[in-house]
Amino acid sequence: MTKARLAAVAAWDIPLLRGAVVTLAAVESRLTAWRMRLGAVARAVDSAEAWAGPAARSAAGAVFDLDAVAAALNAGFAESQAAFVRLAAEADAGQEHAVRALALARTLEVSLDAGLDAQRQLAGTVLALVPEAAPPDPGPALAAADAALAHASAAAAAAAAAGTALERLGVGDAFAPADFWDLAAETHLVGPVRAPEVPHVRSAEEDVADWWVGLSASAQLAALRAAPAAIGALDGVPAWARDRANRLLLDRALNDRGLEPPAAAAARAVARRIAIEEAAGRRVQLHLLDLEDDEVVLAIGDLDTADAVALLVPGVFNTPGDDLHRLAADARAVFGAARSAGPGQEFATVVWLGYRTPGNPWEAATRFSAWRGGPELSHALEGLAASRVASGVPLPRTTVLAHSYGTVVVDEAADEPGRLAADAVVLLGSPGMEPTGATGLEAPEVYDAAAVGDLISWSGWFGTGTYAPSFGSTALPGEPMMGHSDYYDPACPTLAAIGEVVAGSRRPD
């Protein structure tokens, strides 16, 4: 009996199983990408951006129903595909052990069945007498046979799980639902949707992204309407959703007469900046709005689809209420320089005030603000990448542009667990970095600009100057008379070089 089972396992067609895994993965990936486009249609119809009236409402309901079925189908395929991955791995290992066991079986003086029975009885007796004792050595043949049977059992369980996931979609006896309505009968169409439970703000970005993609379009909208503060700050959620959630928060803040004056001023500044940028025909996304901590992240362009993304991390004494207009001008300047350097590409540039910048000389002279901001920057970069991966959208080229104290924030971000999720880091007017140098920033490309006339960049207050050969970065061009605030000045050569870095047309020395 055992020998026959091992022979069957040894004869399994493992390449066929691996092919099934690849096929299911491709189907699930294409379905995810299709669902993202369908969700965009559902959102557009729901918001009356392109169509309004009774017919539009009816169409929106139909699209949401279609998306709900697609979401169930997506989840079923993903679960089945994961089970197939386990099945292929267990079957591969089982086959390897089975072949070995059959080859060694001739060295046994008894049959495999008798040998395994005797070995298990002996092991049970030993453990009963001496619970802490190691089990007796069964020998290579019996060990291989036992391992093969264990892996075969695990493979059978994985196969059952793969089938169960598809059975919930109405697949049975090798037959699938005949049409959409048969498939819809196996799922729960939307109707009234309860907002799903939102992950904790410090959940892993990959887990957040997978949770979001697993929701239907109607459930996504329900979540952001019910908990805009949570969704608007959740790294791993796509930019369109964070933008919509944060605009809800912004509307509430603008109408809140009890809001503290600094927060109210910041809200007005953000609303004014968005209105100005959109009036000029630019796409804007409000990626973070935390008026209590005075933190705002504003993107020019579409973070969900851009080929290249640049995050501008500013330094000391910058606040949304007082400086958003100037920082947005810097982001526009970088956007223009990148477009000149990379025609045909789509760009997004981000004013990243995702940390409370130093607001007094004592804070400016310490790493305290950077200790708080570094982890936030690291999570933000991870979230942007995770959202793209989960949605099946190619990753953008990501560049961090850090100015002055912002370079210290990047220094701390690179110290977080895992690698910094950036393709390039540009250090502008840095007051010094940790002695690990450019390699410590974990990005494939590290550039710097330290103008002769910029005393901050020569101070070395926080460590090694980025201009030092030992630091290991590639210098960008500048002019001797440039000051600490001139790196984004269109009249200076540094900006054009920054645009080349963002577009990917400049390479390090």
Q: What is the pLDDT of residues 7-65, one digit of tens each?
A: 777 788 878 878 777 777 777 777 777 677 777 776 776 665 655 666 666 666 666 66
pLDDT at 117: 55
Phi, psi of 97 (to 5 degrees): -70, -35
Which carries the bigger pLDDT value, residue 35 or residue 457?
Answer: 457
pLDDT at 67: 67
Which carries the bigger pLDDT value, residue 218 or residue 436?
Answer: 436
Q: 482 vs 123, 425, 441, CA distance in Å?
A: 80, 21, 26
Range 81-104 average pLDDT:
78
**What is the bridge-based pairing of β-strands 295-300 and 284-290?**
antiparallel
Please name the residues in contact with 20: beta carbons below 8 A apart, sequence gap of 6 or more: 84, 88
Which carries the bigger pLDDT value, residue 182 or residue 480?
Answer: 480
* Beta strands in 418-460, from DSSP E residues, in sequence order: 424-428, 445-449
Check whether 98 has a pLDDT greater than 90: no
**pLDDT band at residue 75 using 50, 70 and 90 as cut-offs:** confident
| Partners of 449 in the β-ladder | 428
Which carries the bigger pLDDT value, residue 204 or residue 146?
Answer: 204
**pLDDT band at residue 298 using 50, 70 and 90 as cut-offs:** very high
pLDDT at 193: 42
Range 179-190 average pLDDT:
50
Read off the tokens for 352: 């990243």
**pLDDT band at residue 92 using 50, 70 and 90 as cut-offs:** confident
The gap between the terminal CA atoms of the chain, to the nearest Å, is 67
Q: Distance between CA 394 and CA 396 in Å, rounded?
A: 6
- The DSSP output letter for 215 is S
Read off the tokens for 488: 């984004």
- Write the Ramachandran bin of 495: left for phi over 0, alpha for psi from -120 to 50, otherwise beta: alpha
Using CA of residue 280, residue 286, residue 290, residue 294, what is the dihedral sign?
Answer: negative
Using CA of residue 436, residue 442, residue 445, residue 446, what is the dihedral sign?
Answer: negative
Read off the tokens for 383: 């979230």
CB atoms inside a 10 Å sphere around CB 240: 20
The tokens 């249609």 sit on which residue? 41
Task: Give the CA diameter of the chain.
Answer: 91
pLDDT at 190: 42
- The domain limits of the chain are 2-185, 230-503
Read off the tokens for 171: 């697949």
Q: Distance between CA 277 and CA 289 in Å, rounded?
A: 17
- Segment 327-348, tens digit of pLDDT: 999 999 999 999 999 999 999 9
- What mean pLDDT value characterizes the chain? 84
Range 97-123 average pLDDT:
61
Read off the tokens for 221: 């909208």
- Segment 215-271, tens digit of pLDDT: 877 788 888 888 999 999 999 999 999 999 999 999 999 999 999 999 999 999 999
**pLDDT band at residue 392 using 50, 70 and 90 as cut-offs:** confident
Range 137-145 average pLDDT:
62
* Beta strands in 332-442, from DSSP E residues, in sequence order: 347-353, 397-403, 424-428
Check whether 112 has a pLDDT greater than 70: no
The tokens 């409000």 sit on which residue? 286
Domain 230-503 adopts which CATH fold?
Rossmann fold (3.40.50)
Please name the residues in contact with 253: beta carbons below 8 A apart, sequence gap of 6 or more: 259, 263, 264, 267, 289, 291
**pLDDT band at residue 189 using 50, 70 and 90 as cut-offs:** very low
Check whether 192 has a pLDDT greater than 50: no
pLDDT at 297: 98
pLDDT at 126: 45
The tokens 């089972």 sit on which residue? 5
Q: Most confidently modeled of 8-12, 20-24, 179-183, 486-490?
A: 486-490
Q: 53 vs 56, 62, 369, CA distance in Å?
A: 5, 14, 50
Please name the residues in contact with 100: beta carbons below 8 A apart, sequence gap of 6 or more: 140, 144, 148
- Percentage of the residues of the chain whose pLDDT score is greater than 90: 55
pLDDT at 29: 72
pLDDT at 158: 79
- Segment 275-297, tens digit of pLDDT: 999 999 999 999 999 999 999 99
Check whether 6 has a pLDDT greater than 50: yes
